A and B are shown apart, each in its own frame.
Chain A
Amino acid sequence: MSKPLLRVSRKWVPSTVTLLVSLAILFPIVWLVLSSFKETGELFSYPLAMLPSRFTFVHYRKVIGEGFFGYVFNSLFLAVVGTAITLVISAMCGYALAIYRHEVSYTNLVFGIFLLGTLIPGETLTVPQVTVISELGLYNNIWGVILPVVTTTTGIFMFRQHYLSIPLSFVEAARIDGSNEAQTFLYVMLPLGTSSTVTLAIFSFMWRWNDYILPLLVLSDQKKYTIQIAIKNYIGFNGVDWSSILAASVMSIIPIIILFIILQRYIVGGLSASGVKG
């Protein structure tokens, strides 16, 4: 075997393997998308074919006709507003936990309380959570779905690790220049957090977009429903409307994939900056 050929294979073999692996991982979604264009009868008729014999948009039209865009709009509102609040409060909290660690002796205790949040199976707290939400008058109110979930330990953790990696001398310099604590945070420290910011933004958006149980229990006006509830409603007691469910699922993942593709180049940077250091 000649040398150039070997070099070629050294590059091509790993690349091909990588491509095949990632395509395999993507495959179930491809199958879902292709199936959603099949006619209902074809979904279950053997032999199964990869491609629909005829692309049909009937199921999409049906799901859209049943108000799907309204649910998309609600989910979008929930995700966008929830994400904005998460970013702001997590940055503040993470900043405080990192920057005042020498002056305030109990920062780790406060951090520990937040860490508790990741250990507890959240689903089991849903019922008392909804009790609190209704006591606060937030029942059937979009804020009743947003406020309970905006505090995320992951977000606080990411910002804390980020600010830990920034030399305290930056803060001191700002203070010497005469800026007060709020100004220091806003002008000096907040812009530095961008990579974490974008990463957390994607995560938070995804979590809110995919929430199911809390919106279902808190919202009781169909006009306020989110897409996940809309998808679940096609799973009936006496049978599953597969065609509609496939079309609705496909439509539910499009916005989040688009958002991810736009912002993805920040994600890796953000996570590595979050202090998961090798």
Chain B
Amino acid sequence: MKTRYVKRHVRAFWLFVAPCLLLFSTFFLIPLGLSVGFSFTNYDGWKVMNFIGLANYKELFADTKFYQSLGRTFAYTLFSLPFKVIIPLLIASLVTSKRVKIKALARTLTYIPSLLSALVVGITINWMFSAEYGLVNYVIQVLGGTPLQWALNPKLATFVISFASNWASTGFYMVIFIGGLNNIPQEMYEAAAIDGSTTMQTFLRITIPMLAPTTFLVTLLSTVNLLKEYALVQGITQGGPGLNTTFIIQFIFDKGFNQMQYGYASAISLVVMVVFAFIAFVQFKFSNGGDR
């Protein structure tokens, strides 16, 4: 009786999971398998496909440009990550604060940039930061400053991409933080108020620790998304000046897909995938999965 019951549930489990698993396997796991296969060939995306063993991997590990772009990706991620987490947290605190009146309006306005496609975000940011006709440089000029070389200074170019990326994701992470903030028991704040704790003390001693799991989730999501940054780079700097904003995904496209070296591109993708998975795993272990 008991085993039949369980068996029926196992079958039900598989039936419920089936649509997702089937589609996921077809359009994700099979392509992943193909990609692994391609990485051992000199596939040109169409006609040529010969087995060449580990040649792609050997070439990759000897390629200094690969290490450089990986290094740039890490530097970019580390630079942007604090903003990705702190700005949405501060805004979420503002729009959940009892002392703020226009919460709903502020949330809506803040969220709107998150609705835009990478293409439109790129267009909008170019429109603001273009060194020639951009609004930002114009305002700097009107205020008597020298226009900044947004496209020429590697640091500024990286900043523009980071700005764009932050701008387009703040709303999303803010919403996640609002969810976390709403789940902090109100009594804790009341107790703190009775103890005469200042706003800043309450924020540091109650809000921040209680939010740890949410903060972990936001950190993990933003790390992965920063490492994968591509569409914005393509729309704003195209990897320049020089190669200073050529991050790893851009590198894969420039080296591989755009030069019809699909085999090589597949090999890079797989190595990068392993690196990303490792980083996510380390973050997960380090923070205990966000559990206190």
Contacts and interface: CB of A to CB of B under 8 A. Distances in A.
Direct A–B touching, Cβ under 8 Å: yes
Given A11-B99, A21-B91, A110-B21, A119 B27 contact: no
Contact of A272 (B34, B118, B123, B178): B178
Interface residues of B, number: 95
B219 to A, nearest CB: 12
Interface residues on A, range: 35 or more
Main secondary structure of the interface of A (DSSP, over half): helix
B20 interface: yes
B143 interface: no
B208 to A, nearest CB: 11
Given A21-B106, A22-B105, A267-B175, A129 B27 contact: yes
Interface string A130-142: 0111001000000
B225 to A, nearest CB: 9
Nearest to B95: A18
Interface string A105-128: 001001001101111111111011
A257 B265 contact: no
A276 B268 CA distance: 34
Contacts of A125: 28, 31-32, 35, 269
A212 interface: yes
B242 interface: no
Shortest Cβ-Cβ A-B pairs, 5 listed: A272-B179, A210-B117, A96-B16, A128-B31, A124-B269
12 contacts: A26-B109, A88-B19, A119-B277, A123-B228, A127-B257, A128-B35, A148-B28, A210-B116, A212-B231, A231-B123, A252-B120, A276-B213
Interface of A: 10-11, 14-15, 17-19, 21-23, 25-26, 28-29, 31-32, 35, 43-44, 46-48, 88-90, 92-93, 95-97, 100, 103-104, 107, 110, 113-114, 116-125, 127-129, 131-133, 136, 147-151, 156, 181-182, 185, 206, 209-210, 212, 228, 231-232, 245-246, 249, 252-253, 256-257, 260-261, 264-265, 267-268, 271-274, 276-278
